[in-house]
Amino acid sequence: AQSVTQLGSHVSVSEGALVLLRCNYSSSVPPYLFWYVQYPNQGLQLLLKYTTGATLVKGINGFEAEFKKSETSFHLTKPSAHMSDAAEYFCAVISRGSARQLTFGSGTQLTVLP
């Protein structure tokens, strides 16, 4: 079964610093890849996705992610953190040819320090 691993359950950065949240998937066939954000007491919002084509994907709120097949990774980055970026971030995958089942990583809590 497809799985996704997020390294680091908690990440802290200073405001204005680079944000890097790590995600690796386990599959010989690259799945469809997603990043979702969850603000406190809210639902999940899609940040960006990779399905095919360009491997550098730009999303909302200044986030981007790069699909690297050789590293089976899909890390999320943002050049300059803002206080409003503090949230829980989830990497997720849908296996190609599956019943469209979205499988989540364990999440990374991002804290932005003033």
The CA distance from 89 to 64, in Å, is 13
Q: What's the min distance (Å) between Cβ of 21 and other proteins? A: 14
| Residue pair 61/110 in contact by the 8 Å Cβ criterion | no
Q: Which stretch binds other proteins (CB under 8 A): 12-20, 54-62, 69-77, 86-94?
A: 86-94
Does 49 contact other proteins by CB under 8 A? yes
Taking CA atoms, 73 is separated from 19, 26, 30, 50, in Å, by 16, 9, 10, 12
Where would I find the beta strands (DSSP E) of 27-86?
32-38, 44-50, 56-58, 64-68, 73-78
Binds other proteins by CB under 8 A, chosen from 55, 106, 111, 113: 106
Is residue 104 near other proteins by the rule CB under 8 A? yes
Among 17, 32, 77, 86, binds other proteins (CB under 8 A): 32
Q: What is the contact surface with other proteins in residues (CB under 8 A)?
A: 32, 34, 36, 38, 42-46, 49, 51, 88, 90, 94, 99-104, 106-107, 109
